[in-house]
Amino acid sequence: MSGWTDKRPMSPHTSIWKWHLTMASSILHRVTGVGNYLGIFIVVAWLFATAAGPDYYEPLSAVTGSIWGQLILFGFTLSVSYHLVNGLRHLFMDAGLGYNPKFASFTAGLGLVAAVVIAVAIWLLAGLVPGIDPLNMTGAA
Amino acid sequence: MSKESIRTPLGKVRGLGSAKHGAGHFITQRVSAIALLFLVPWFLISLIAAVRGGYDGALAWVADPINAVLILLAVGAALYHMRLGMQVVVEDYIAKNSTKTFLLIVNTFICVVLFVAAAYAVLKVAAI
């Protein structure tokens, strides 16, 4: 601490922090927020293509229907479901609830698990995974 | 202000500090979050069902008056919420003032352009 004269408190640098669940959930909340920012481009493009006609709609659905398109859409689903679940947790914390360290870690972990379960359940139940359609959503016999 | 203030002399001279916009940002971010808590699940489930019907299914889904209103609410609230969120990300990580200002303006432009595109699309299909 040779020439350091600034008396203001200094935040410990990320690299010397021990990773813990609440920290991971906070970082992931921001990461998925940015992910959703990118994902809504697809949603708006889809709405626009619907209005613009089949000449726009069909090429777009060819891209989103490809394996890479489907992977991106599943990632988007995962990103939205995590941000939604953890966002609900944030709202409770904004109301002053759930700050007990152990409970906060528990809800952080619960949010992670719930997000994956929700995203996987949506894809499986909606029949978006080829060959899996328990509720017969695609209308195939 | 006490003698033990942690504000730097330079900060005091420049009059830097709260811009008095923090509370408004905080509240609107949460209010849009509460709206999205309801709109996003509806949007996801409804959209997946609509996509199944191909182009005609998509067209019929957007053309339904209730769907059209809910789509615009969902997309509008999402774009509003993400503009606020991205603003914080930019403010946190970009220290250089000119770059920060530039990115904040780009952020606003992106959200407005996306909303106008979505609004045009929905109204074109639904308002016939």
Mean pLDDT of A23-33: 96
Q: What is the pLDDT of residues B5-57, one digit of tens each?
A: 777 777 777 776 777 777 899 999 999 999 999 999 999 999 998 888 899 99
**pLDDT of the residue at B9:** 77
- Is B114 in contact with A41 (Cβ distance < 8 A)? yes
Q: Is the confidence at residue A14, as pLDDT, over 80? A: no
Cβ of B78 and A40 within 8 Å? yes
Interchain CB distance below 8 Å, A122 and B44? yes
- Say how many CA atoms lie within 13 Å of B50 toward its Cβ: 21
Q: Taking CB atoms and an 8 Å limit, are A48 and B125 in contact across chains?
A: no
Instruction: Provide the 3-class DSSP secondary structure of residue A20.
Output: coil
- Read off the pLDDT band of A19 (50, 70, 90): confident
| Contact (Cβ atoms closer than 8 angstroms) between residue A25 and residue A108 | yes
Among A8, A44, A58, select the one facing B114 at the smallest CB separation: A44
Helix (H) and strand (E) counts in chain A = 4, 0
Determine the pLDDT at residue A101: 92
What is the pTM (predicted TM-score) of this model? 0.86
**Interface pTM, i.e. ipTM:** 0.86
User: In this predicted model, what pLDDT tens digit does every residue of B52-94 receive, in sequence order?
Assistant: 889 999 999 999 999 999 999 999 999 999 999 999 999 999 9
Cβ contact, residue pair A47, B117, below 8 Å = yes
Per-domain residue ranges of chain A: 20-125
Predicted local distance difference test score (pLDDT) of residue B106: 98
CA distances A54 to A43, A49, A65, B54, Å, are 16, 7, 15, 10
Chain A residues touching chain B at CB-CB below 8 Å: 6-9, 30, 33-34, 36-37, 40-41, 43-44, 46-48, 50-52, 54, 57-58, 61, 77, 80, 84, 87-88, 90-91, 94, 122, 126, 128, 137-138
Mean pLDDT value of segment A5-18: 74
Question: Minimal Cα distance from B47: which residue of A?
Answer: A43
Kindly report the nearest CA distance between residue B45 and chain A, in angstroms. 8
Q: What is the CATH number of domain B29-126?
A: 1.20.1300.10
pLDDT of B1 above 50? no
User: Are the beta carbons of A36 and B82 separated by less than 8 Å?
Assistant: yes
Q: What is the pLDDT of residue B75?
A: 98
Nearest of B84, B6, B44 to residue A84 by alpha carbon? B44
* Average pLDDT of the residues of chain A: 91
Sequence-distant (6+) residues with CB within 8 A of A126 are: A135, A137, B45, B48, B49
| C-beta atoms of A88 and B89 within 8 A | no
Q: In A, which residues are within 8 Å of B27 by CB distance?
A: none
Size of interface A-B (CB pairs under 8 A): 90
**pLDDT class of A136 with cuts at 50, 70, 90:** confident
Q: CATH fold of A20-125, please? A: 3 helical TM bundles of succinate and fumarate reductases (1.20.1300)
Q: For residue range A87-106, what is the model confidence (pLDDT) as tens digits?
A: 999 999 999 999 999 999 99
